[in-house]
Amino acid sequence: MEPTKFAQYFLSQPHGSKAKMAASLGVTRTWLSQVIYARKKPSAEMAVAIERLTGSAVTRADLRPDLYL
C-alpha cells in the first residue's frame, strides 16, 4: 500500500509535529494516526481544519474525495 499524502506530509515535518497537530485539532494522537494512514475518515469540518494546519499541503479533497471532488 502506498503512503497517503497525509503520511508523506509528516515525513518532512520535525519530530513532535503529530502531537502538536493533534493538540491543535483537539483529538488524540491515536485518532490522528488513524486518519494519516487512512484507517479513519475525518469529518468534513476536520478535513478543512487539517487543510488549514498543513498550509494546503494536504487538502480536504485528499482527505475526503467522496465529499470534495
- Domain regions of the chain by residue span: 14-68
pLDDT at 3: 79
Using the predicted structure, report yes or no on whether residue 55 has a pLDDT greater than 80: yes
Grid cell, residue 22, equals 493533534
**Separation CA 39–CA 7 (nearest Å):** 12
Residue 30 identity: T
The model carries a pTM of 0.92
pLDDT at 2: 67
Percent with pLDDT over 90 in the chain? 94
Mean pLDDT of 11-18: 94
pLDDT at 57: 97
Q: Which of 3, 13, 59, 69 is nearest to 36 (CA)?
A: 3
Average pLDDT for the chain: 95
Which fold is adopted by the domain 14-68? 434 Repressor (Amino-terminal Domain) (1.10.260)
Q: Which of 42, 44, 3 is nearest to 22 (CA)?
A: 42
